[in-house]
């Protein structure tokens, strides 16, 4: 039990995928202008990452490992994740239109997102078992969501502030992201 | 190596096949028209159409829930293309643009405190409603500018929003985000049907004008030398600038804030100046017309009120036709005013301006004699507006028309009936008669009715000391008003009456319909009414009463107290009434409720105002030059000569451009 709690805290705070590992910066800057889109994106990432984590674990241990093909991990994971997202999108559109309306526009954005691929590869590198893989995927995604929502809230405030012209929009966004990252450095060393 | 190829190839093949199967299994039919429509929409997702975004609107358009013209940001051609895709008929809309309705920025207005917080109006308003004294003043922090999806707004040097009319699409995003509702969509059509409310910045003169002309607006245009614009501003409310510029009783000038310093601005002579300028140029300046609409409207009576309505309805895009009983348009203007105050060519010029706009006219056609409600509806008109004139016109017309003549089906004037019965004439009244607001003469008329063999007589009063009684077939009803008439062809069949409370409001659930053949009206003239066909009928009609104007003390029924006399005491009152008729007809035909806005400024509405004016240097009012006395002997030449251009522009400078409490300080 304890190992799970440590894993959750480690994934969300200490090794935050956005602010400590710098993966998935594209949506971090892209959809963080409004809280509404940030929350939608966070939900979509959680949804996709948990599924991708499970599927890639199966692919790794039941297809690649038996044939000693782990050097094809990155390539096959990209293929699997992209197909999975496509499939999920089609499934949602047909069967759960309400969920599709909420997450639909974010799903294609995640198809080839490095945060998703990155987490799947980390899971394999750390050699987690299946349950740990699920917990880790969920927690990394939650950490992604946390960082995105925090950042969106700050950016909404920045909109109202008087920012010097050359620093407006993405520039001030990057500066803010850097500071947020520095703040997360405070968690460093909490868990080894 | 081989294994690697096999696994990757196999994985790819399986996933590819899986996806191919899934795309069949999970196939959802999307109407290709939705995509085509979405392609044409701008993708700004501004929400001006009332849907959450362009794709939602595209779906709604294809589903028929939204109009192809609902997108405000695309051109007419694109609207046509969309209409072609979905095969729908479209009603074109006059383009609207955002118009800020605050005249003085934060630095020029009185302030309660100095705000230095988050630069957003929605935040600023949380502190005691913003820093301005005026509760409806623009805070100038640019919430609208940030919200505009088309970059059409900016904050000007005086910290008021400036609209780039080229870029503005009229999506209304700014209107929705402004926490004080200062920025509103505007167009000529909206200006025509507009009533001043307590929630907008108005000058005292504007509020006093019975026609509701934007007086500071046209004086500003004159000051800037933009005379055509001044005329358009005037003609949106009053198509008689030449006539009114001479004979108007100008209540505006009595309310002018300059009276607190020296003398009122020469509001009316300035109106005359632009009209004279137009006449000298020889071209009628017209309010731009909204895209043509299907409906045709007939107007009975070619006097000031009828012509005003005909002109304004024409500008709203309707086809209008005026039926005039005499051989001349203009009614009482020709009869009641001396030539040296109102030269005849001025009347002709203003009337020609109305005809020039495309208003059709048929002269020598009296309703009830040459034409009837039935015959007009048969010609395909959607509404008939009654503007037959005041009692003076009735007296004049009675010499031209047969005895006992009445224009409206089943409606007679009470006095006519009493006089005719005294002369011993035969009067056809039918089985049931409703007598309306005739004071004690009502009872006399009721007796006449009984004498003529009428079975049921209803006497209704808005207010009366007479006891409500019911005897011998005469029923007296107090606190009751007539709200609607209904009939078939040229026959009155029924009326709807309604009880009112002490405050003059409708008593809930008291509306009832009674069968009536004739109505006797106690007033000296016929009411202003709109006749429309009942739904899905070609002969059955009913009436719609125009909404009550600012003078009316009660809102319901016809002949509202306060309004009866007011509409005819001056030409400008008739023009105001004509404009309200226009708005009533427009609202009715567009399926909107025929009522005034809830917070409309009325005669006794208290608005924020100032009691003294500071920081304004006295400047004497320019006098209009007068004709020399020797020229006036034995002639009816006009006495006052009107301003020269230089004089007019100098006089226009005197205008303080007032708002509720702001004004221009030197």
Q: Are B130 and B115 within 8 A, CB to CB?
A: yes
CA-to-CA separations, B102 to A130, B125, B168, B384, in angstroms, rounded = 65, 16, 18, 38
Chain B residue with Cα closest to A163:
B119
Q: How confident is the model over A27-77, as pLDDT tens digits?
A: 888 888 888 888 888 888 898 899 999 999 999 999 888 888 888 889 899
Cα–Cα dist B248/B270, whole Å: 12
Cα–Cα dist A18/A115, whole Å: 8
Chain B residue with Cα closest to A94:
B26
Nearest-neighbour CA in chain A from B565: distance (Å): 56
The reply to whether A63 falls in a domain is yes
3-state secondary structure of B92: coil
Q: Are B356 and B283 within 8 A, CB to CB?
A: no
The reply to whether A20 falls in a domain is yes
Cα–Cα dist B657/B223, whole Å: 11
Contact A87 B22 (CB under 8 A): yes
The reply to whether A58 falls in a domain is yes
Q: Length of chain B, please?
A: 666
Cα–Cα dist A84/A49, whole Å: 11
Q: Are B115 and B137 within 8 A, CB to CB?
A: no
Q: How confident is the model over B554-583, as pLDDT tens digits?
A: 888 888 887 765 456 788 989 999 999 999
- Which residue matches tokens 């009185």? B110
B332-350 burial, b if ≥16 CB within 10 A, otherwise e? bbeeebeeeebbeebbebb
Tokens of B262: 């020296």
* A67, A79, A87 ranked by CB distance to B12: nearest: A79
The reply to whether A192 falls in a domain is no
Partner A, chain B 23-52, Cβ-Cβ below 8 Å:
23, 25-28
Partners of residue B116 in chain A, C-beta under 8 Å: none
How many other β-carbons are positioned within 10 Å of the β-carbon of residue B351?
Answer: 24
| CATH class (in words) of the domain with range B95-186 | alpha beta
Tokens of B433: 């008669």
* A90, A160, A162 ranked by CB distance to B22: nearest: A90
Domains of chain B: which residue ranges? Answer: 29-93, 95-186, 409-522
Contact A87 B27 (CB under 8 A): no
- Please give the CATH superfamily to which domain B29-93 belongs: Electron transport complex subunit B, putative Fe-S cluster (1.10.15.40)
Nearest 10 degrees: CA dihedral of A50, A51, A53, A57? 140
Return the pLDDT at B311: 97
Return the pLDDT at B389: 82
Q: Are strands B153-155 and B161-163 parallel, antiparallel or unpaired?
A: antiparallel
CA-to-CA separations, B131 to B102, B109, B110, B135, B660, in angstroms, rounded = 14, 10, 9, 9, 16
The reply to whether A151 falls in a domain is yes
Contact A76 B7 (CB under 8 A): yes
3-state secondary structure of B324: coil
Phi (first) and psi of residue B461, to 5 degrees: -130, 145
Tokens of B231: 């005329």
Contact B27 A94 (CB under 8 A): yes
Chain A residue with Cα closest to B22:
A87
Cα–Cα dist B256/B251, whole Å: 9
Phi (first) and psi of residue B514, to 5 degrees: -125, 150
Band of pLDDT at residue B443, cut at 50, 70 and 90: confident
| Domain with A116 in it | 2-187
- What average pLDDT does range B596-605 have in this prediction? 87
Q: Are A156 and A39 within 8 A, CB to CB?
A: no
Cα–Cα dist B264/B215, whole Å: 13
Cα–Cα dist B557/B545, whole Å: 7
Band of pLDDT at residue A92, cut at 50, 70 and 90: confident
Q: What is the ipTM of this complex?
A: 0.78
Q: Rounded to 5, what percent of chain B is helix, strand, coil?
A: 35, 15, 50
Q: B243 pLDDT exceeds 80?
A: yes
Q: In whole angstroms, what separates CA A11 from the centre of its chain?
A: 11
Q: Are A24 and A146 within 8 A, CB to CB?
A: no
Cα–Cα dist B43/B74, whole Å: 10
Nearest 10 degrees: CA dihedral of B458, B420, B326, B272? -70
Partners of residue A59 in chain B, C-beta under 8 Å: 11
Tokens of B268: 């009316």
Return the pLDDT at B302: 92
Nearest-neighbour CA in chain A from B125: distance (Å): 15
Q: B115 pLDDT exceeds 60?
A: yes
Look at chain A and report how many structural domains it folds into.
Answer: 1
B613 exposure class (CB count in 10 Å sphere: 0-12, 13-18, 19+): middle
Q: Are B241 and B230 within 8 A, CB to CB?
A: no
B56 reaches A (C-beta below 8 A): no
How many other β-carbons are positioned within 10 Å of the β-carbon of residue B286?
Answer: 19
Contact B26 A64 (CB under 8 A): no
SS3 per residue for B378-441 = HCCCCEEEECCCCHHHHHHHHCCCCCCCCCCCCEEEHHHHHHHHHCCCCCCCCCEEEEECCCCH
- The residues that bridge with B488 in the sheet, in sequence order, are B491, B540
**A159's torsion region: left (phi>0), alpha (psi -120 to 50) or beta?**
alpha
What's the sign of the alpha-carbon dihedral B343, B349, B354, B359?
positive
Partners of residue B27 in chain A, C-beta under 8 Å: 94
3-state secondary structure of B514: strand
Chain A residue with Cα closest to B4:
A69
Band of pLDDT at residue B245, cut at 50, 70 and 90: very high
How many beta-carbon pairs under 8 angstroms link A with B?
54
Residues whose CB falls within 8 Å of the CB of residue A65, separated by 6 or more in sequence, listed in order: none
Strands (E), B124-231: 153-155, 161-163, 183-186
Q: How confident is the model over B383-436, as pLDDT tens digits?
A: 999 998 887 777 787 777 777 778 889 998 888 888 888 888 888 888 999 998
Cα–Cα dist B368/B345, whole Å: 32
Q: Length of chain A, please?
A: 192
A95 reaches B (C-beta below 8 A): yes
Band of pLDDT at residue B470, cut at 50, 70 and 90: low
Tokens of A137: 């995927």
**Does the structural domain B409-522 have CATH classification 3.50.50.60?**
yes
Nearest-neighbour CA in chain B from A9: distance (Å): 35
Phi (first) and psi of residue B178, to 5 degrees: -65, 120
* Mean pLDDT lowest among B431-435, B469-473, B658-662: B469-473
A67 reaches B (C-beta below 8 A): yes
């Amino acid at each position: 039990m304890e190992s799970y709690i440590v894993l959750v805290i480690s994934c969300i705070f200490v090794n935050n995928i956005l602010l400590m590992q710098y993966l998935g910066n594209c949506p971090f800057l892209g959809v963080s202008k409004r809280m509404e889109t940030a929350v939608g994106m966070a939900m979509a990432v959680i949804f996709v990452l948990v599924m991708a984590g499970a599927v890639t674990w199966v692919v790794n241990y039941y297809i690649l490992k038996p044939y000693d093909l782990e050097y094809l991990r990155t390539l096959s994971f990209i293929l699997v994740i992209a197909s999975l997202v496509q499939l999920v999108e089609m499934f949602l559109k047909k069967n759960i239109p309400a969920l599709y309306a909420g997450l639909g526009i974010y799903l294609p954005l995640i198809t080839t997102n490095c945060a998703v691929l990155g987490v799947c590869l980390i899971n394999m590198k750390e050699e987690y078992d299946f349950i740990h893989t699920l917990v880790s995927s969920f927690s990394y995604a939650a950490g992604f969501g946390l960082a995105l929502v925090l950042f969106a809230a700050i950016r909404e405030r920045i909109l109202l502030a008087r920012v010097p012209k050359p620093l407006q929009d993405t520039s001030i966004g990057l500066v803010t992201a850097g500071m947020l990252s520095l703040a997360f450095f405070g968690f460093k060393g909490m868990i080894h | 190596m081989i294994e690697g190829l096999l696994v990757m190839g196999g994985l790819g093949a399986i996933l590819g096949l899986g996806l191919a199967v899934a795309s069949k299994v999970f196939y959802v039919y999307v109407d290709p028209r939705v995509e085509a429509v979405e392609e044409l929409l701008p993708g700004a997702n501004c929400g001006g159409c009332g849907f959450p975004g362009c794709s939602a609107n595209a779906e709604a358009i294809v589903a028929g829930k939204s109009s192809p013209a609902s997108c405000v940001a695309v051109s007419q051609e694109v609207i046509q293309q969309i209409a072609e895709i979905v095969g729908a008929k479209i009603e074109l809309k006059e383009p609207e643009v955002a118009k800020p309705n605050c005249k003085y920025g934060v630095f020029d207005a009185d302030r309660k405190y100095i705000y230095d917080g988050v630069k957003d109006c929605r935040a600023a308003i949380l502190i005691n409603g913003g820093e301005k004294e005026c509760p409806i003043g623009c805070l100038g922090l640019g919430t609208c500018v940030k919200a505009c999806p088309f970059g059409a707004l900016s904050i000007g040097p005086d910290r008021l929003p400036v609209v780039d009319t080229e870029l503005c699409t009229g999506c209304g995003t700014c209107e929705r985000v402004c926490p004080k509702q200062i920025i509103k969509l505007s167009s000529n059509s909206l200006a025509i049907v507009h009533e001043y409310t307590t929630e907008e910045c108005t000058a005292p003169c504007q509020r006093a004008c019975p026609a509701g002309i934007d007086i500071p607006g046209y004086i500003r245009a004159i000051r800037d030398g933009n005379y055509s614009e001044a005329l358009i501003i005037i003609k949106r409310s009053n198509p008689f600038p030449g006539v009114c510029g001479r004979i108007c009783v100008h209540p505006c000038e009595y309310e002018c804030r300059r009276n607190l310093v020296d003398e009122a601005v020469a509001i009316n002579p300035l109106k005359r100046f632009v009209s004279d300028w137009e006449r000298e140029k020889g071209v009628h300046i017209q309010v731009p017309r909204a895209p043509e609409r299907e409906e045709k409207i007939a107007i009975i009576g070619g006097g000031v009120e009828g012509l005003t309505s005909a002109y304004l309805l024409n500008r709203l895009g309707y086809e209008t036709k005026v039926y005039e009983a005499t051989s001349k348009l203009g009614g009482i203007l020709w009869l009641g005013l001396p030539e040296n105050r109102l030269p005849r060519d001025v009347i002709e010029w203003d009337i020609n301006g109305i005809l020039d706009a495309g208003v059709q006219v048929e002269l020598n056609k009296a309703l009830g004699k040459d034409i009837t409600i039935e015959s007009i509806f048969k010609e395909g008109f959607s509404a008939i507006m009654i503007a037959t004139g005041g009692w003076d016109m009735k007296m004049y017309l009675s010499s031209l028309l047969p005895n006992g003549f009445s224009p409206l089906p089943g409606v007679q004037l009470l006095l006519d009936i009493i006089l005719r019965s005294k002369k011993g004439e035969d009067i056809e009244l039918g089985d049931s008669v409703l007598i309306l607001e005739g004071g004690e003469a009502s009872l006399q008329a009721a007796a006449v009715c009984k004498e003529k063999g009428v079975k049921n007589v209803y006497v209704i009063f808005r207010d009366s000391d007479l006891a409500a009684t019911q005897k011998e077939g005469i029923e007296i009803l107090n606190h009751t008003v007539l709200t609607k008439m209904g009939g078939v062809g040229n026959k009155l069949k029924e009326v709807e009456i309604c009880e009112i409370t002490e405050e003059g409001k409708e008593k809930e659930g008291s509306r009832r319909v009674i069968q009536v053949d004739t109505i006797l009206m106690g007033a000296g003239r016929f009411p202003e009414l709109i006749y429309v066909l009942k739904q899905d009928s070609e002969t059955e009609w009913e009436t719609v009463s125009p909404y009550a104007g600012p003078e009316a003390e009660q809102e319901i029924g016809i002949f509202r107290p306060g309004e009866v006399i007011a509409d005819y005491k001056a030409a400008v009152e008739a023009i105001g009434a004509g404009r309200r008729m226009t708005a009533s007809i427009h609202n009715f035909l567009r399926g909107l409720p025929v009522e005034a806005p809830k917070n409309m400024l009325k005669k006794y509405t208290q608005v924020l105002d100032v009691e003294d004016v500071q920081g304004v240097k006295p400047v004497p009012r320019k006098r209009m030059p007068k004709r020399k006395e020797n020229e006036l002997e034995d002639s009816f030449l006009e006495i006052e000569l009107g301003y020269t251009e230089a004089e007019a522009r100098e006089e226009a400078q005197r205008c303080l451009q007032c708002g509720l409490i702001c004004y221009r300080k030197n």
